[in-house]
Amino acid sequence: MITPAKISPATLAKLAKLGIHHRADLLLHLPLRYEDETHLAPIETLQAGETAQVEGIITHNEVAYRPRRTLVCRLQDNSGELYLRFLNFYPSQIKQLAVGQKIRAIGEARMGYYGMEMVHPKCRAGGEDTPLQQSLTPIYPTTAGLAQAVLRKLINNALETIPLTDTLPAALRQKLHLADFADSLRLLHNPTPDIAASALEERNHAAWQRIKFDELLAQQLSMRVHHQERNKRKAPKLAAKKLLTQQLLQALPYQLTKAQQKVLKEINLDIAKTHPMQRLLLGDVGSGKTVVAALAALQAIENGYQVAFMAPTEILAEQHYLKLQEWLQPLGLAPVWLSGSLKKKDKTAAIDHIAAGTTQIAVGTHALFQTSVTFKNLGLVIVDEQHKFGVQQRLALRNKGKATAPDLQKSIEPHQLMMSATPIPRTLAMSYYADLDVSTIDELPPGRTPIVTKLVSDARRAEVFERVRAACLAGRQAYWVCPLIEESDALEVELQNAIATHQQLTEALPELKVGLAHGRLPPAEKAAVMAAFKAGELHLLVATTVIEVGVDVPNASLMVIDHAERMGLAQLHQLRGRVGRGAAESMCVLLFMQPLSELARERLKVIYENTDGFIIAQQDLQLRGPGELLGARQSGVAMLRFADLTEDEDLLEQARSVADELLRDAPDVARAHLQRWMANKHDFLHV
């Protein structure tokens, strides 16, 4: 821990907010940017947008009150005058900047009403006896109440007193052309003015390359260690008996694609082993992941074990439940449904069946991992859209299956199959899923028709209404997706919502039967609407994004996504995948409001030009970063701090290779490296 005797409890608490718990953490708290206080610029040479340091005499000091209370000072040197403006200031600052005082100011110059000015520059007393800095001044990430000067003092003390031993052997550094660790750290904390600022800010200097490589190597080592540890844990052996699985395969009205057969074989082999499977099943929208999961579940049931099937939303979980009922009831199996909205009596009955082992498969939402739910012998956990669950939730469900067998010294735990219709870009899979086994269904079932995507401005809304009318009167069905249930103060008043749009469409298209589905409808009502749409009793379904996944209506050939500019790429791709499930030509209309932000324009361009989920996911990674795709933002998993997966793929490749070498040939080196980078990090990514 950081020595409390030298640092106040208040400062320790602020450091903890930055993830700094030990003195060694200070070493890797690296600057966001730098200020150049190594030389003075004449005022007349200042350019708008340039950050510079100037020195001069205050010739004017005034507190103005229009349009708001502002401190305005004029600073003069031998070459010219500069205005200094402060919107928030203290009496002590007025005194510091009194007329006649000689001061230094550093800030960004800009052209103001009266001429060149700096707004809220950093000021201090100047003069010939005030030495200039010898290195660039680091500006660190901080939190309220923790001054840069305090951070700099703590970090420089750590640099001077903590041994900066290099964790990597000299031969390896030489082979990979990596800079020395100690030299890299010292340079990044206190760079000399001769180093190009662009190389530091863009993080392509050799010192940054070393730090980024070390971070990626630690991540790869951590993942591989998790993988090795998993292979030491015990799980039930679920051998393929080909009883129930064969019955389902024979009952299906279609044959599995080659891709489905390939991933099913990988899963079959995994769960037949005595250590827990942790496999991620990736497949684009409509590729047939659910039937593969059902066959894996049957293999567990054939061996006398229970299965938990969890989905993030009630509507998706219910879709899985109904589909599994359809497939499994003819085989004499009765899935149990468990969700938060069930009546108390029904919920108690479901929990009793699960605990007694009288049901072999439980389907539901996060209600499955509540403390009141216990499984008799859980052998397989299936988690759909796994990135939408926090890691602690996934861990809680896995722990439901932990039990100690009498003949085993170690506890046994269930196998895990995680599914995602959000394809994982290669760099993300290499980095954050390196400890998982990944299977990909890379082909769609035959008979799927390509979906035509159209971008339409909201100004042409009436034309879209007519397109919906024509499609429905021709015997097809349509979706109209809205981003909100009801208007929110946080969004513009004109933002359309599902309830208002439903009313508008009902009035505009009186000859059509229009349904409404959203997350706040009572479950029974929502199920009735969805069933009516699936049965063809409704022409048009107005819905929020509750229909993003799991809804399968082959006769629906048109989708309109309202305010498409407000949705993420993965969500747009998921929604678009709700059509094109039958033989009819399908269309997705992306209705957007002007003006578009640059990010929204980029997103709509990507979805318009691409139908391949993997290409879309790669673009999503570049636009938003890995946090959204991983579901790590909401689960509290720390992202990479320094490396960038879209720019540092070559370093990631090197780190993968070196991680394998070190674990095989130099485990002590691997351990020391992990200690430096991961000692205080709680890494749940392997859950």
Q: 482: alpha, beta or left, given left = phi > 0 and alpha = psi -120 to 50?
A: beta
For the chain, give the mean pLDDT.
Answer: 85
Residue 285's pLDDT is 75
Average pLDDT of the segment spanning 383-392: 65
Please give the full DSSP string across 116-156, using - where no structure is assigned: EEEES-EEEE-STTSPPPSSPEEE----TT--HHHHHHHHH
Q: Quick check: 477 pLDDT over 60?
A: yes
Residue 328's pLDDT is 95
The two structure tokens encoding residue 390: 């926090």
Residue 488's pLDDT is 46
Query: At 397, is the pLDDT very low, low, confident or very high (cuts 50, 70, 90)?
Result: low
Residue 41's pLDDT is 95
611/668: higher pLDDT: 668
Q: Do 39-132 and 451-610 come out as alike in CATH topology?
A: no
Q: What is the pLDDT of residues 431-450, one digit of tens each?
A: 666 667 888 888 877 767 77
Residue 425's pLDDT is 67
Please give the full DSSP string across 646-670, using - where no structure is assigned: TT-HHHHHHHHHHHHHHHHH-HHHH
Please give the full DSSP string across 223-267, using - where no structure is assigned: HHHHHHHHTTSB--------SHHHHHHHHSSSPPPHHHHHHHHHH
Are 215 and 642 a contacting pair, CB within 8 Å? yes
Q: What is the pLDDT of residues 6-30, one digit of tens each?
A: 788 999 999 999 989 888 999 999 9
- Highest average pLDDT, of 67-81, 187-201, 338-352, 668-682, comes from 67-81
Q: Where are the domains of the chain?
A: 39-132, 244-441, 451-610
Residue 394's pLDDT is 55
Q: Which of 238, 247, 241, 352 is nearest to 300 (CA)?
A: 238
The two structure tokens encoding residue 234: 């015990």
479/423: higher pLDDT: 479
Q: Quick check: 333 pLDDT over 60?
A: yes
% the chain with pLDDT above 90: 51
How many angstroms separate the CA atoms of 352 and 94, rounded?
Answer: 73
Average pLDDT of the segment spanning 377-385: 91
Are 579 and 451 a contacting pair, CB within 8 Å? yes
User: How many C-beta atoms lie closer than 10 Å to residue 524's C-beta?
Assistant: 9
CATH assignment of 39-132? 2.40.50.140
Q: What is the pTM of this model?
A: 0.69
CATH architecture of 451-610: 3-Layer(aba) Sandwich (3.40)
Where is average pLDDT lowest: 42-51, 431-440, 571-580? 431-440
Residue 528's pLDDT is 86
- Highest average pLDDT, of 190-199, 515-524, 614-623, comes from 190-199
Top-level class of domain 244-441: alpha beta
